[in-house]
Amino acid sequence: MLKFYNTLGRKTEVFHPVNKKVVTIFTCGPSVYQRAHIGNFRTFLFEDILERYLEYSGFSVRRGMNFTDIEDKAIKEAEQRKLTLSHLTGKNIKHFLHEMKLLRMKIPDYLPKASESVHESVKIIEKLLEEGIAYRHKGNIYFDPLKFQGFGKLYGLDMSRWPARKKRFHKDTYPGVQWNLGDFILWHGYKPGERYYWDTGIGRGRPSWNVQDPGMVVRYFDETLSIYCGGIDNLYRHHDYNLAILESFRPYPMARYWLHCNHLYVDGRKMSKSKGNILHIDDLKKRGYNRSEIRFFLIYGNYRKRMNYSDENMRASANKLRGLQKTVKQIEKALKKKPSSSLSGKSGHSDNQLKRIFIKHMDNDLNVKDAFDGFCEIISGIKVDGLNPAEASEIIKSLKDIDEVLKVIF
């Protein structure tokens, strides 16, 4: 049975979608003030594998992923580069979609931009103001977490640490992975000279990052999501903010399962501009790797475990994939043989074994590494020279079915 490690509750659970007809998923998309790097793509590829494996398992999937295109960092970046915000973010969105296709990723059903969902964000804020959960202060609007029962339940926040004196946090995001114990911003009130704002029923200004995702969720989904995904950084503040906002707006859970992908480090260090170690897909292509090898490196592991990029690890990963592809080509040659009664070295049921081992490990919280290693071990035991066309055909068919999830073999 398909099982996921649910961050909400910190345990592995059998997967039961909210809606049996269609699995609804929302995934935190890129903040498009800059290009997505390979660490970002590790998370997005995990989400791609998730969607593909659900479909492989017989589910229908409806998925949304947002573009954060109005936030403090994007506005600052545009000003520093003397660009309009739409020019900066539009260029990065276009590049992101190009690299999604390059890496053979499925394009989600919905790709809303925060800048196009301001109405929904305002609607949420209006209700939170009516309920007394949000309040105005010096032109801004803030959310009071103490008004939401169970705040911090996703992360497991110790609310006994909450300060007695009221604190307010005004920025969209803050550096580092720590908690801001205090009220967080929902609406940036307009200040003279600002270029990016909307005139709305709650005044002139713009929605904060914290309320944008809930606004984009309600635009497309009107029930509890089956799955909400993102990078592990979102466990600090952002996803608990999203959950508290949306569950205050409508009286049912935001999502049944919460899945979070761990970091990709480079040579043992977190990627950052200050360290000068940020890598993009282009960088790996320039080092001689093709798109299947790049995709394979980024999916080959368990999404909840930290991964480390190094030249050595990348080479080893590429060589592992090339070895499988070489064997697969040899099996394909057997398709052209004249029919005979000879059997494969192990049994005539290698194709069934391939699928069984793949499903066994993928059902265990999407363990791509063990799934891949498992069916590679079976293939390595096949006497390719002894295969007849029928046997080779069944093996290739099974591998092609599996590769509808992995998208790296053929």
Successive 10-residue mean pLDDT values, the chain, 410 residues: 97 97 97 97 98 98 98 97 98 98 98 98 98 98 97 96 96 92 98 97 98 98 97 96 98 98 96 88 98 98 97 98 97 82 48 94 98 97 93 96 98
Single-letter amino acid, residue 260: H
Predicted pLDDT of residue 340:
56
Main-chain phi, psi angles of 253, to 5 degrees: -60, 145
CB atoms within 10 A of CB 372: 25
Tokens at 13, concatenated:
């659970």
Q: Are 308 and 268 in contact (CB under 8 A)?
A: yes
Predicted pLDDT of residue 275:
85
Domains in the chain, ordered, with CATH?
3-261 (3.40.50.620), 311-406 (1.20.120)
Strand partners, 375: none
CA atoms within 13 A on the CB side of 360: 12
**In angstroms, how far is the first alpha carbon of the chain from the final one?**
28
What lies within 8 Å, CB to CB, of 401 at 6+ separation is: 56, 355
Tokens at 321, concatenated:
């994939």
Tokens at 41, concatenated:
């793509």
Predicted pLDDT of residue 350:
66
Classify residue 173 by burial, with Cβ atoms within 10 Å: 0-12, 13-18, 19+: middle
Q: How far is CA 401 from CA 25, 129, 250, 335, 373, in A?
A: 23, 51, 40, 17, 17
Classify residue 95 by burial, with Cβ atoms within 10 Å: 0-12, 13-18, 19+: middle
The SS3 of residue 287 is coil
Q: Are 210 and 174 in contact (CB under 8 A)?
A: no
Angle at 360 between CA 357 and CA 362, to 5 degrees: 105
**62-90: buried (b, 16+ CB within 10 Å) or exposed (e) per residue?**
bbbbbbbbbbbbbbebbeeeeeebeebbb
Q: What's the gap between Cα 76 and its chain centre?
A: 25
The SS3 of residue 410 is coil
Predicted pLDDT of residue 344:
43
